[in-house]
């Protein structure tokens, strides 16, 4: 085996390891990593200690429209779009780094991640297939995930007009001794710029 092919295989293994640690499903690994299904399954078992979960990937855009899911999805996709525009890396690495940055931002705000890696990957595919779009809120000017071809004029985001159940959820969380923390959209640009300048995403 040539040195080039050995190094190429090492890179594919490193990519698979990164993706498995982030929670990538086997279907995604097969699509993005140049290793056989058998090797991917062995690698998954070695890292996770269990076999890869079975079942279909999410196929509905409706999940991304619910209150907290829309906030987290919008936060991630703004990061992904910014990094894709300002980076010359392969798309899969932009996805990985964007998702890591999302997790860092959520952790910094002492919140819990709502968007798992599979949902993030599926959402990017939905955007690529023109099933989702970013719509600009007419009140705060933030860009939020919306169904493709929805009217953009007069769009109001879920932060500016949260559903009534959002208040109930916060109240029940406070009663239990906790709090629901909503990630701030205004910090996205600064966080992404720091990451692109070498802010610790590896």
Are 75 and 130 part of one and the same domain?
Answer: yes
CATH code, domain with 139: 1.10.10
> Is residue 42 domain-resident?
yes
What is the mean pLDDT of the segment spanning 84-104?
94
Binding site as annotated, residues? 137, 140, 157, 160
pLDDT category of residue 110 using cuts at 50, 70 and 90: confident
Are 22 and 96 part of one and the same domain?
Answer: no
> Is residue 169 domain-resident?
no
Are 89 and 34 part of one and the same domain?
Answer: no
What range defines the domain where residue 17 resides? 6-48
Binding site as annotated, residues for Zn(2+)? 137, 140, 157, 160
> Is residue 165 domain-resident?
no
Are 128 and 87 part of one and the same domain?
Answer: yes
What is the mean pLDDT of the segment spanning 45-69?
90
> Is residue 159 domain-resident?
no
Are 106 and 30 part of one and the same domain?
Answer: no
Q: Is 117 exposed, middle or buried (0-12, 13-18, 19+ CB in 10 A)?
A: buried
Sign, CA torsion 170/173/105/71: negative
Residue 132's DSSP bridge partners are: 147
116-120, 151-155, 178-182: segment of lowest average pLDDT:
178-182
- Number of domains forming the structure of the chain: 2
Distances in Å between the Cα of 90 and the Cα atoms of 7, 46, 76 are 17, 26, 18
> What does the pLDDT look like over 122-179, one tens digit per residue?
999 999 999 999 999 999 999 999 999 888 889 999 999 888 776 554 444 443 334 4
> Is residue 139 domain-resident?
yes
């Amino acid at each position: 085996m040539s040195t080039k092919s050995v190094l190429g295989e090492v890179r594919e293994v490193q990519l698979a390891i990164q993706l498995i640690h982030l929670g990538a499903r086997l279907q995604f690994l097969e699509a993005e990593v140049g290793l056989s299904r058998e090797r991917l399954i062995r690698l998954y078992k070695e890292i996770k200690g269990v076999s890869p979960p079975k079942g279909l990937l999410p196929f509905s855009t409706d999940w991304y429209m619910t209150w907290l899911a829309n906030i987290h999805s919008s936060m991630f996709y703004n990061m992904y779009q910014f990094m894709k525009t300002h980076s010359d890396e392969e798309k899969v690495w932009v996805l990985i780094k964007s998702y890591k940055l999302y997790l860092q931002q959520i952790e910094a705000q002492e919140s819990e991640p709502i968007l798992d890696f599979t949902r993030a990957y599926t959402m990017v595919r939905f955007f690529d297939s023109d099933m989702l779009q970013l719509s600009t809120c007419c009140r705060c000017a933030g860009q939020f995930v919306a169904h493709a071809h929805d009217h953009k004029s007069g769009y109001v985001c879920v932060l500016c007009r949260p559903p009534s159940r959002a208040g109930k959820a916060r109240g029940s969380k406070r009663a239990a001794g906790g709090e629901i923390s909503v990630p701030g959209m205004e910090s996205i640009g600064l966080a992404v710029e720091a990451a692109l300048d070498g802010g610790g995403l590896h």
